Amino acid sequence: MISKRIKIFLVLIICVTLFVTSVWAGNKKMMAIMAAKNDAMRGLTEQVYGLKVRSSEEVKNMTADSYVGKTDSKTSATLSGIKIIDVIYDPQKDIARATATMTAREIVNIDGSNVALNGKVFKHVGFGTSSSENSAPLKALRAAQVDAYKQMAQQIAGFTLESQTSVENYMLKSDLIQTKVQASLALSEIVDFGWDNSGDAYVKMILKVDEVAAMLGEAVVGAGDVVEVEGLGAIQDDFKKTKAATKKP
């Protein structure tokens, strides 16, 4: 028969275990939500205030294994009036989702221009997780966003292309294609995003040219009524693994 003292001791152990588990679970949830809120606010900043995009790509001898592509983005702004809504946390995947929204009347964008937004409502959905083990799909989505920004910059601002080709005795000896783009973007809107069956991400982005021209007070050169792009992001670098495997003796 279990003594009263042992019973009390067992109850205390159970209570402490439950308390520690609940604290850890709450901590994970809070940290994931915090990350999602920050991601949402960053996306809203990029959309409303704008961001700078710099990208370069290189292909040698028309083969994919020589491809080198890099895109960097940067934004900075002093924010006010942002609200966080629709916060959701999935404890199974340890992934949080949050939406940042703001009503903007007039701002100074990333290029220092005054832009009258006339009370337009902006929204952006952000994601976050408490652990790096669950971050792969979120990283793929961010990569797709930046790829979409790169394509939008190419469409709006244009890009520089350089090519060098050498042929000897009717045979291609060397071939090099390089493209570069550097531009500021603002008011691009993400209209759809998601993941395919393999986990790779996509982001569909539009820029309403007439609306942007009216806000900026100047024409947007070289674009139609609406510019649409789709950015892509990979969940893993299987191409790098393939290249590494082919180099083994």
- 36-40, 49-53, 64-68, 193-197: the lowest-pLDDT one: 64-68
- In angstroms, the CA 1 to CA 72 distance is 69
Q: What percent of the chain has pLDDT over 90?
A: 58
- Residue 35: give the domain boundaries: 4-247
- How many folded domains does the chain comprise? 1
Q: For residue 244, what pLDDT band results from cuts at 50, 70 and 90?
A: low
Contacts of 95 (CB under 8 A, 6+ apart): 32, 89, 127, 128, 129, 134, 137, 138
Give the global pTM.
0.83
